[in-house]
Amino acid sequence: MRNGLKWVVTAGMFILLVVMIILGLRWSEAKTSTNRAIFNSKMTPTILIPGSSASQNRFDGLVKELNKGVNKHSLLKVTVKETGAMTVSGKLRARDQAPYMVVAFENNHDGYANIKKQAAWFNKAILMLQKRYHFRRFQAIGHSNGGLIWTRYLEQYYQAEELQVNVLMTIGSPYNFAEKSINNKTQMLADFIKHRKALPTDLTVYSILGTETYDDDGIVPEESVEAGKYIFQKQVAHYTQITVTGDDAQHSDLPQNDQIVQLIQQNVLPKPMGSELNRPKS
Amino acid sequence: MKRYLAATQQSMATLLPVVLALTWLALGQRLVLLPDGFFPTVLHYTKFVGKFVMLNGLITNALTMGFQLVGVLVVARTLMTLLKSHLKTEQLGVLIALSALIVWHLLGNPQMINWLILPVFVMSLVWPVQRVRPEWRFSMGVAVNAIYALYILVVQRWWEFSLTAYLQQVVNGWFGDGPQHLWSSIAWYVMAVLGNGLGLNSLSSVVNPDISTTTANANLVAMLQHQTLPNLYSLYPLALFALVGSAGMLLALFLAMMIRRRMKHVSITWLLVLIPLLLDQWWPLAFMIPIMWRPRLMGRMVAVTIVNLLLGALLLFRHLAPAVYWVPSGTPNLLLGGLASHQLGAYAIVMVAILLLDIWLYWQPAKRILEEVTDAQWT
């Protein structure tokens, strides 16, 4: 009886190992094959997340501005529903290696609880986009709460072995919501600071601050945008804060501000192939 | 010290059934129930198991408390053995109850349990108790416990400082992006062997091959982009030469013992210990057979590891395709080479050869250990 049991256990052990070999190898080969295409892809899209209350059309004006001249790129728009379902509109032109991809949310309300949900939805959206369009490197832009969603995503969901973000530009992002004093840290800022070590160390971050008056952009206090330094400084490779004043420096106008459009062209968008500045990181 | 280590090991052996039950539960969870476990990943049912958050939380708590309880019981039983002739029954009962409470708080979560705490605690309590006059023994025992209680209260609770977590942080700080050269990889694997041998558990980043470390990831990216591998001799491609059954090639040590005993003398307990070991869970082995805190055995483990790594490096340099690709989490190191290189046949041959060599290297230590341990412990 005991001998029989021993043989049953031994046989079970071999079966388990054989099953693990077969399933493990199949999984590993499939994952490698998908990722080979992704890792060899030359596409580096610019992914944009709008702020609260904004739809997938929020960046139409900005993309129109960026598409002036010879460097025209496709625009894809994704809206993530509360159920996690996604609708994609727009078309990717053949051989377009630097398309714009806007990810918006059906639930686009303000508040930390929603930002957490939106970051989780965004994670699903970017994985879907990666699977469909086979890219690994990308640039990131977030307007207002869009910058907060990026920060939450990079701290909680971003997998450096599968994706590589080179540049993040946040425009008027209120890292401490409406608080004017850094001594009154909101729960969100405290969490961002707590998890800052998860941010990629090779990332370049630009935080754009708009000032309509001397202390805010009409909505977001200067100090709240400046609080970003407590999250990114001494963690990412480069952190630069830029102040934009003058016309179109009001919070909602920032994405169309000429100076910001220029900053995006200079610092965020990939340079055309063959350019000296287009040195992809390995 | 030897006396305390031996007494602790004997107590550990009596708790093997509990450790086996906990290890099998942990294995089941890791393979089948966790959303990033082996089978949910390869069979694509991660969403389905994601619904069992409560169940997974319950199992994790059960494992945490289970292993803490094991630590407490080991200490209680050891104290009972060592102090029964030195204290009155009621005094011994009180002292054991106090010590149990202290040890419960000293041990952290199962990922960070340092088994070295057990003999150190036993020695720090028994040694002074046995050296004072009989009427002071109980008070001395209480005083030692009071010092530990003060440590827990001030350091662990007030300062919120955990020595184990601190050690882990320090090691992770040294580890950084992971070693890039053969000599540094060897040094890390030797440290992992010494960690296991001492019952320290602070080298999880070394004993769990991780493709997300910078060096492993750089290899993966280079391989996918058809470039030269930048870190051929880093931990991930070398893991299968050092970690089968955990650091020190413990599977080979156990197989050497099994062969020495011949299969017909091997009870079902041996098989129940072997299966977790195939999946790199070595705690049942450490509870069944006294492999911790033995300097000579640790020396042999270091030698086996270095020989394997040098051989492995030679094979990687000359013939073998390196293991660089993704494998599902929970993949045993025994299968890591074949799965992560997509060269199953070549790695199967290499693995068998390496295990045979290691069994030969462990042949004498296996004999010595088997001679020391009575059969009664294993049936």
Residues A67-109 have pLDDT tens digits of: 987 778 999 999 999 888 999 999 888 888 899 999 999 998 8
Q: Three-class SS of residue A123?
A: helix
pLDDT given at position B262: 76
pLDDT given at position B284: 94
Distances, alpha carbon B108 to alpha carbons B65, B162, B241, B362, in Å: 9, 9, 30, 33
Of A271 and A57, the one with more pLDDT: A57
> Please, what is the average pLDDT of chain B?
89
- The verdict on a CB contact (< 8 Å) between A27 and B42 is yes
Residue B84 pLDDT exceeds 90: no
Of A155, A160, A231, nearest to A202 by C-alpha is A160
> Please, what is the average pLDDT of chain A?
88
A39 interfaces chain B, CB cutoff of 8 Å: yes
CA-based nearest residue in chain B for residue A32: B325
Mean pLDDT is lowest, of A240-249, B38-47, B88-97, for A240-249
Which candidate from A10, A21, A31 shows the least CB-CB separation from B326?
A31
Residue B361 pLDDT exceeds 70: yes
Distances, alpha carbon A215 to alpha carbons A136, A221, A245, B53, B335, in Å: 39, 6, 11, 46, 61
pLDDT given at position B354: 95
**Interface contacts A/B by beta carbons within 8 Å:** 80
Report the amino acid identity of residue B38.
F
For residues B229 and B219, the answer to whether their CB atoms sit within 8 Å is yes
Residue B341 pLDDT exceeds 90: yes
Residue A274 pLDDT exceeds 70: no
Q: Three-class SS of residue B272?
A: helix
B39 interfaces chain A, CB cutoff of 8 Å: yes
Determine which of B27, B30, B42 to mutate to test the interface with A (most A C-beta atoms within 10 Å).
B42
For chain A, what percentages of helix, strand and coil (3-state, to nearest 5) are there?
40, 20, 40
For residues B22 and B70, the answer to whether their CB atoms sit within 8 Å is yes
pLDDT given at position A272: 65
Tens digit of each residue's pLDDT (9 = 90 or more) over B291-329: 999 999 999 999 999 999 999 999 999 889 999 999 998
pLDDT given at position A127: 92
Q: What are the residues whose beta carbons fall under 8 Å from the beta carbon of A178, sequence distance 6 or more? A: A220, A221, A224
Tens digit of each residue's pLDDT (9 = 90 or more) over A152-178: 999 999 988 788 998 999 999 999 988
For residues B354 and B254, the answer to whether their CB atoms sit within 8 Å is no
pLDDT given at position B313: 94
pLDDT given at position B362: 95
Q: What are the residues whose beta carbons fall under 8 Å from the beta carbon of B225, sequence distance 6 or more? A: A39, A40, A282
- The verdict on a CB contact (< 8 Å) between A161 and B328 is no
Residue A282 pLDDT exceeds 50: no
Helix (H) or strand (E) holding B43: none
Contact list in A for residue B271 (CB cut-off 8 A) is: 6, 9-10, 13
Q: Three-class SS of residue A101?
A: strand
The stretch B55-68 carries a mean pLDDT of 91
pLDDT confidence of B200, banded at 50, 70, 90? Answer: confident
R_g of chain B, CA atoms, integer Å:
22
CA–CA separation, A229 and A223 (whole Å) = 10
pLDDT given at position B175: 84
Of A35 and B39, the one with more pLDDT: B39
What DSSP designation does A216 have?
Answer: B
Contact list in B for residue A13 (CB cut-off 8 A) is: 271, 274-275, 278
pLDDT given at position B82: 92
- The verdict on a CB contact (< 8 Å) between A2 and B268 is yes
- The verdict on a CB contact (< 8 Å) between A6 and B266 is yes
- The verdict on a CB contact (< 8 Å) between B331 and A20 is yes
A93 interfaces chain B, CB cutoff of 8 Å: no
- Break chain A into its structural domains and give their ranges: 1-40, 41-268
pLDDT given at position A157: 93
CATH number of A41-268: 3.40.50.1820
pLDDT confidence of A33, banded at 50, 70, 90? Answer: confident
A36 interfaces chain B, CB cutoff of 8 Å: yes
- The pLDDT > 70 percentage for chain B reads 96
Window B:156-215, CB contacts with A under 8 Å: 211-212
Give the pairing of strands A100-105 and A46-49. Answer: parallel
Question: Hey, which bits of chain A come out as E strands?
Answer: 46-49, 75-80, 86-89, 100-105, 137-143, 164-171, 204-210, 238-244
Distances, alpha carbon A16 to alpha carbons A9, A156, A241, A266, B376, in Å: 10, 34, 55, 56, 30
B225 interfaces chain A, CB cutoff of 8 Å: yes
Q: What are the residues whose beta carbons fall under 8 Å from the beta carbon of A193, sequence distance 6 or more? A: A185, A230, A231
pLDDT given at position A77: 95
CA trace torsion B331, B332, B338, B341 (10° rounding):
50
Residues in chain B, overall count: 379
Residue B146 pLDDT exceeds 90: yes
Q: What is the pTM of this model?
A: 0.77
A15 interfaces chain B, CB cutoff of 8 Å: no
Residue B265 pLDDT exceeds 80: no
Question: CA of B40 to nearest chain A CA: how many angstroms apart?
Answer: 11
Of A276 and A224, the one with more pLDDT: A224
Residue B140 pLDDT exceeds 50: yes
- The pLDDT > 90 percentage for chain A reads 55
Q: What residues does B290 pair with on adjacent strands?
A: none
Half-sphere exposure of B374 (CA within 13 A, CB side): 6
Residue A139 pLDDT exceeds 60: yes
| B175 CA to centre of own chain | 19
CA–CA separation, B314 and B329 (whole Å) = 27
Give the pairing of strands A164-171 and A86-89. Answer: unpaired
Residue B379 pLDDT exceeds 70: no
Q: What are the residues whose beta carbons fall under 8 Å from the beta carbon of B55, sequence distance 6 or more? A: B33
- The verdict on a CB contact (< 8 Å) between B338 and A21 is yes
pLDDT given at position A279: 42
Contact list in B for residue A160 (CB cut-off 8 A) is: 212, 217
For residues A144 and A51, the answer to whether their CB atoms sit within 8 Å is yes
Tens digit of each residue's pLDDT (9 = 90 or more) over B280-295: 999 999 999 999 999 9
Of B129, B327, B323, B298, nearest to B239 by C-alpha is B323
- The pLDDT > 70 percentage for chain A reads 93
